[in-house]
Amino acid sequence: MAGLFDPMKIGNVTIRNRIGMSPMCQYRAEGDGVPHDWHRTHYRSRALGGTGLILTEMTDVEPRGRINEGCLGLWNRAQSDAFRRVADEVHAEGAAFGIQIAHAGRKSTLDDPVAPSAVPFAEGRATPRALTVDEIQGLVEAFARSAELAVDAGVDVIELHGAHGYLIHQFLSPISNLRDDEYADPARFAIDVVRAVKARIPSQLPLMLRISMQEYQPGGYGPTHLLPILPKLVEAGVDLFDVSTGGNGPARPEAYPGYHLRHATTVRDTSEVPVATVGQMNSPALADFAVRESMTDLVLIGKALLRTPYWAHEAALALGRDHELPGEYAKGV
């Protein structure tokens, strides 16, 4: 039975253990969406710390898809070239590398946000403009182009951000999608994006999709809404679901260690693809248990990796796997 420190093979990539860095916005780009020194050091240090898979923060497919001007972007060659340097740094420390590509939709705080429908994220936030069908198709192409640029940058995996109230999630949700055309179908935009991306990346390059299984807002959806959509997304090309919740409105989940494990297990038991999950999986024993009990295939660590880049090394020590440490650091045991 695989544990936290067993490798995982997905598509043509082998991840050295079951520990991933969850995407976390740094807001350190300088208006041009280009990653620089901060990002190279930040991601390399987590790779050096033993993390198996580094997923970048949300990286947007067009300028108006950013939350703010500090967000990373991936819509031009200069950005892709700079991401190549981040990928090289991460690979130098033995970790796999993925970019989370996204569009903020109505959660953008920049001028003139767009969304499936003219419904604001919360009271006091800007009312977005509803996208036309032509614009939606343009955004599908923007996701595909961004994925191509990610491949040029040397990624091992790509994650689409379909959770936390960003654009793909906005289409999936009855709170934010009040359309009456073909995109009224909550699955349609996500399926179009997955298909378009899959057609433009190598067939063995794994495509992950982050999903919110539960909305905590009044009128929001729960698992019974999303579960029937998941097989269609697998058919379209999703290779792994990254299971999270919330974000499509101000209401927040009650968070406690492993608070998404129930949803992850449901998705894993009902899907043909592996899953990752996230949410206070900070105890190495809990993370190892969740993998061994087949609740999840991959454990993503968020805030704990902001506090310590060496979370995976600490977990190796706690689980008696100190041989996982690089020689230089094994001397510290």
Ligand X SMILES: Cc1cc2nc3c(=O)[nH]c(=O)nc-3n(C[C@H](O)[C@H](O)[C@H](O)COP(=O)(O)O)c2cc1C
Task: Write out the residues near ligand X by the rule CB under 6 A.
Answer: 22-25, 57-58, 100, 161, 163-164, 210, 244, 278-280, 301-304
Least spacing, CB of residue 159 vs ligand X, in Å: 8
Which run of H or E residues covers position 306?
Answer: helix 303-307
Residue least distant from ligand X (Cβ):
302
- CA dist 203 and 219 (Å) reads 38
Q: Which is nearer to ligand X, 107 or 268 (CB)?
A: 107
Minimum CB distance to ligand X smaller for 165 or for 179: 165
Q: What number of other Cβ atoms are within 10 A of residue 255's Cβ?
A: 12
Which one, of 265, 319, 324, 317, lies nearest residue 287 by Cα?
319
| Cα distance between residue 25 and residue 40, in whole Å | 14
Shorter beta-carbon distance to ligand X: residue 95 or 278: 278
Give the nearest distance from C-beta 195 to ligand X in angstroms: 22
Cβ closest to ligand X, residue 66 vs residue 179 = 66
Smaller CB separation from ligand X, 137 or 280:
280
CB burial string 314-329: b at 16+ within 10 A, e below: ebbbebebeebbeeeb
What CA–CA distance (Å, rounded) separates 28 from 41? Answer: 12
Task: Classify burial at 224, counting beta carbons within 10 Å of its beta carbon; exposed 0-12, middle 13-18, buried 19 or more.
Answer: exposed
Taking the complex as a whole, the smallest distance from the CB of residue 133 to ligand X amounts, in Å, to 27
Nearest to 157 by CA among 211, 119, 100: 100
Least Å distance, CB 263 to ligand X, is 13
Min dist. Cβ of residue 261 to ligand X (A): 12
